[in-house]
A and B are shown apart, each in its own frame.
Chain A
Amino acid sequence: MLLRNIIQRSLTKVRVNVQLQLERRNATVASPVTLDENVVRPEAKELSKSDQKFNSLQQRFVYPEFLPNPTLEWRNPIREKLERIDMMRRRSQVDLPEFYVGSILAVTSSTQHAVSKQTRFLGICIKREGCGLRASFVLRNVIDHIGIEIRYFLYDPKILKLDVIKLEKRLDDELYYLRDALPEYSTFPEDMEPEILPDGMPIPINTTKVVMKPRPWYARWERTHFQGINRELMMTHVSEKMKMQIPLHEKPWEKYDLMKQYRSTIPEEEQKDIFAEVDSELHKLELLRKKQKRKRAFVKPLKSS
């Protein structure tokens, strides 16, 4: 009887998670959240779009590092809480804007090695990982025909400024395949002008399909299902033997593995609790940054001659 209860409870949690997952897919198309009752209510419609963003279900995309690592052995509620406090403290000192894998960022950080004690690196974000204070991202750029990647910790006190040059998403969660794509797909000029997205606009999705270089590759891309790779052209570099091996390594059952999804996600109730903690402060910080930006935009009008 007890066992049945436990199983039922875990199954309901799993269902919530699956809903979340489905919704995550929908969210890339920027559909309004229907899970939350608040949004369905008529007065919620009058809320501005920036307010809607401060809905805990949306925030897990904007601030993914606030969600702890779902691995059960590593959970520690007190440490997580302390980390969240530290993260908010850091956020009050430096502007860490919203960005995604595929966005183009420029990081100004202090180093002891440079003459000016400062360095700036611009590149496309190819990976975001880690939780809490350990959250990191990898930037990639091709400078003088040589690909360069740098990993930064998001809450590193060395980071002086984090500029989002182009805010957009790609079709995949990680873009390590850019290492084996033609260099033009990861080449960005150092003096790129920042593109400002109008307020309340959905994040655009870049649907570029990259063309791969001939093998050898860093990984077996032909066995993966990345949407951002031009599969037809990639297959021209793949031998017959490798093509025959592709079906042997496919795992079509994984999308039905509810327990796997459950273990790799934080349940909705917990997410709500976590974001309820930091919600008001994050909102305040965002409003403050907006005000500062407007001020700066007013002080420095563009010269047209």
Chain B
Amino acid sequence: MDLLRLGVRKFHSTPSCNHIIKMSRLRVVDNSAIGKEAMAEGRPPKVIHVYTKTGVGTIGDKVLMAIKGEKKKGILVGVKKHQPANIPKFDTNNVVLIDDSGTPLGTRIHAPVPHLLRTILKERTIAKKCDYSKLIAIAPRFV
């Protein structure tokens, strides 16, 4: 058993994929009180669920996060993950906190947001259920 354990390599030989999965840490880029506090404390939110079939999140996907002992939902607005041509790849995994109806908790976003997000969120908006138009409206800058 010990020999087997010795045989297991304890280092990575490939670069990380930067996938957003459960337990990933994100960066809150809006000015909601809870998000600001969590970032200032140095305890950024941790993903506890990704609402996709693959379990890997990318631009526009909804995630459930543990933030300051609470469960909050958020929309990914910029990811580190490798992106196809013409789509921006960010240096950090950015998230905007939302409530269950899709309205952002904050009133301002500090980071640029990809143009693609506009289309994705428009598709995912369901009348009277979740409305993401406010999130798009408070985005300051598109790249």
Are A151 and B86 interface neighbours, CB within 8 A?
Answer: yes
| Cβ distance A52 to chain B, nearest Cβ, rounded Å | 35
A111 CB within 8 Å of chain B: yes
Which of B35-43, B49-57, B90-98, B124-132 forms contacts with chain A? Answer: B90-98
Does more than half of chain B's interface fall in helix, strand or loop, or is it mixed?
Answer: loop
A287 CB within 8 Å of chain B: no
A148 to B115 Cα, complex, angstroms: 13
Give which listed residue, B87, B111, B142, contacts A114 with CB less than 8 A.
Answer: B142
CB contacts (< 8 Å) of B110 on chain A: these are 144
Which of A75-83, A87-95, A152-160, A266-274 forms contacts with chain B? Answer: A152-160
Residue of chain A at shortest CB distance from B120: A113
A143 CB within 8 Å of chain B: yes
A84 CB within 8 Å of chain B: no
Residues of B within 8 A of A (CB): 15, 78, 83-92, 94, 110-112, 114-119, 140-143
Give which listed residue, A114, A151, A153, A219, contacts B115 with CB less than 8 A.
Answer: A114
Q: A144-B112, A147-B90 provided; 12 other pairs, C-beta below 8 A?
A: A113-B117, A136-B85, A143-B141, A144-B111, A144-B141, A146-B78, A146-B91, A146-B94, A148-B89, A150-B88, A151-B85, A219-B15
| Cβ distance B24 to chain A, nearest Cβ, rounded Å | 15
A119 CB within 8 Å of chain B: yes
A148-B91, A149-B88, A179-B91 in contact; A121/B119 too (CB < 8 A)? no
Are A119 and B112 interface neighbours, CB within 8 A?
Answer: no
A158 to B84 Cα, complex, angstroms: 14
Q: Which A residues between 126 and 163 are near B, CB-CB below 8 angstroms?
A: 136, 143-144, 146-153, 156, 158
Residue of chain A at shortest CB distance from B116: A113
A119 to B114 Cα, complex, angstroms: 11
A148 to B112 Cα, complex, angstroms: 9
CB contacts (< 8 Å) of B92 on chain A: these are 146-147
Residues of A within 8 A of B (CB): 109, 111-115, 119, 121, 136, 143-144, 146-153, 156, 158, 179, 218-219
| Cβ distance B56 to chain A, nearest Cβ, rounded Å | 20
Are B78 and A150 interface neighbours, CB within 8 A?
Answer: no
CB contacts (< 8 Å) of A147 on chain B: these are 90-92
Most B C-beta atoms less than 10 A away, residue of A109, A150, A218? A150
Are B88 and A158 interface neighbours, CB within 8 A?
Answer: no
Residue of chain B at shortest CB distance from A151: B85
Residue of chain A at shortest CB distance from B87: A150
A119 to B143 Cα, complex, angstroms: 7
CB contacts (< 8 Å) of B84 on chain A: these are 151
| Cβ distance A127 to chain B, nearest Cβ, rounded Å | 12
| Cβ distance A178 to chain B, nearest Cβ, rounded Å | 10
Which 7 interchain pairs have the tightest Cβ spacing?
Answer: A147-B91, A113-B115, A113-B119, A149-B89, A114-B115, A148-B88, A151-B85
Are A119 and B88 interface neighbours, CB within 8 A?
Answer: no
Are A109 and B90 interface neighbours, CB within 8 A?
Answer: no
Are A113 and B112 interface neighbours, CB within 8 A?
Answer: no
Give which listed residue, A143, A158, A218, A219, contacts B86 with CB less than 8 A.
Answer: A158
CB contacts (< 8 Å) of B140 on chain A: these are 144
| Cβ distance A148 to chain B, nearest Cβ, rounded Å | 5
Are A111 and B91 interface neighbours, CB within 8 A?
Answer: no
Give which listed residue, A119, A150, A151, A219, contacts B142 with CB less than 8 A.
Answer: A119
| Cβ distance B26 to chain A, nearest Cβ, rounded Å | 13
Are B89 and A119 interface neighbours, CB within 8 A?
Answer: no
Are A156 and B15 interface neighbours, CB within 8 A?
Answer: no
